[in-house]
Amino acid sequence: MAQQITTATRRRKPLQLGGYLGLAVAIAIMILPLLWMFLAGFKERDEIYTVPIQWFPETYDLSNYAAALAAVPFGSFFLNSTIITVIGAGLKLLLGLTTAYAVVFLEFPFKKFVFGLVIFALLVPQQIVMIPNFTLVASLGWINTYQGIIVPGLASAFGTFLFRQHFLTLPISILEAAALDGASHWTRLWRFIVPISAPTIAAVALVSIVSEWNEYLWPLLVVDRSDMMTLPVGLMLLQNNDGVTNWGVLMAGTVLVTVPVLLAFFVLQKRIIAGLTAGGVTG
């Protein structure tokens, strides 16, 4: 037995080294482009347009950031993105919770059909339906409005699916106690089910927030006024300003868009990762 373990560990050594090498390569590939973006945000023109490339700027001044903020209304972009994300993700969560509750705990003759309707929607890419939706939103006068950006993508399919999976695992005794207590379904959902489901809800919420924040195509279609643009849509304005790309300013703008998300990800990564994994592991 002891013999076997030592040969096993001896065989491990070169494997271990290869593992670290692989890890280092993977990390380098993922980090270098981001580092390149950060550093470019501080570079002067002659530090960018130079061969061989220069990794680090001489000074870390903020003139590219000032130029980016002066060129496009980043403040409005940030505000719009925040409003749309908070309202959109919040309502989507609410719809997911109530639909999953109904599907799991309430009686209805066509329950399976209703759930199937929700799940099948996952197979319909947003882009397939964008022309009719654009026509509808335009006819409602919702172009350049928050509701025009938020409402068409509001329905919850994936969230409903995940919450349903989770609700099916809840101990039924708690819910029976709640029922005997005479609590209404609304109270049962908010007093009993939501508190014990907090980790799942947080995970799903964070994933919705991230995708809402990054959403690009739909806001691009329904907004053409810069004061109503979200961050991803507005960022593209920096690219169009003149014929030649001013990388320093563009990268400064890109940093402004990515850094809040990166910081949030590093702080909340456990929950976000749990949310991303939830679909894969249960489905």
Partner 1 sequence: MPTIEDLQRDTDSAVAVAAPTSVATPAPPRTFNARKKKKPWKSWLLFLLFAGPNVALLIVFTYKPLLQSLYYSTLQWNLGSASAIPVGLGNYVAWFTDPGTARVVTVTLIFTVATVGGGMVIGLLFAVLLNRKLHGRGAARTIVVAPYVLSGVAVGLLWLFVFDPNFGITAALLDAIGVASPPWYNDPHWALVMVIIVYLWKNVGYVALIYLAALQSVPRDVLEAASLDGASPVRAFRNIVLPLLGPTTFFLSITTLLSSLQSFDIIQAMTRGGPLEGTTTMMYQIYEEGFQAGRAGYSSAVATILFAVLLVVTLIQMKYVEKRVHY
Residue with tokens 């006068």: 141
What sign results for the dihedral spanned by CA atoms 271, 273, 279, 280? Answer: negative
Residue 27, C-beta contacts closer than 8 angstroms, at least 6 positions apart: none
Shortest distance (Å) from residue 87 CB to partner 1: 14
Find out whether 146 and 83 touch, Cβ atoms under 8 Å: yes
Segment lying near partner 1 (by CB under 8 A), choices 17-25, 56-64, 68-76, 82-90 = 17-25
Find out whether 57 and 252 touch, Cβ atoms under 8 Å: no
Question: Count residues contacting partner 1 (CB under 8 A)?
Answer: 119
> Residue 123, interface with partner 1 (CB under 8 A)?
yes
| Residue placing its CB nearer to partner 1 in the complex, 37 or 194 | 37
CA torsion 118-123-127-131 (nearest 10°) is: -50
Find out whether 170 and 193 touch, Cβ atoms under 8 Å: yes
Q: Which of residues 250-279 bind partner 1 (CB under 8 A)?
A: 250-251, 254, 257-258, 261-262, 265-266, 269-279
Binding mask 193-232 for partner 1 (x = CB under 8 A): ------xx--x------x--xx-xx--xx---------xx
Using the rule CB under 8 A, which residue among 83, 136, 194, 237 binds partner 1?
Answer: 136
DSSP state at residue 222: H
Shortest distance (Å) from residue 155 CB to partner 1: 4
Amino acid at 187: T
| 191 token code pair | 């007093």
Shortest distance (Å) from residue 247 CB to partner 1: 5
Shortest distance (Å) from residue 67 CB to partner 1: 16
Q: Which of residues 173-192 bind partner 1 (CB under 8 A)?
A: 175-176, 179, 185
* Cα separations in angstroms, 239 against 68, 137, 139, 153, 233: 11, 28, 31, 27, 11
Q: Which of residues 32-91 bind partner 1 (CB under 8 A)?
A: 32-34, 36-37, 40, 48-53
Find out whether 203 and 275 touch, Cβ atoms under 8 Å: yes
| Residue placing its CB nearer to partner 1 in the complex, 33 or 59 | 33
Using the rule CB under 8 A, which residue among 8, 13, 195, 244 binds partner 1?
Answer: 8
| 184 token code pair | 């209404």
| Residue placing its CB nearer to partner 1 in the complex, 90 or 279 | 279
Distance in angstroms between the alpha carbons of the first and the last residue of the chain: 41
Q: Which of residues 141-170 bind partner 1 (CB under 8 A)?
A: 151-157, 160, 165-169
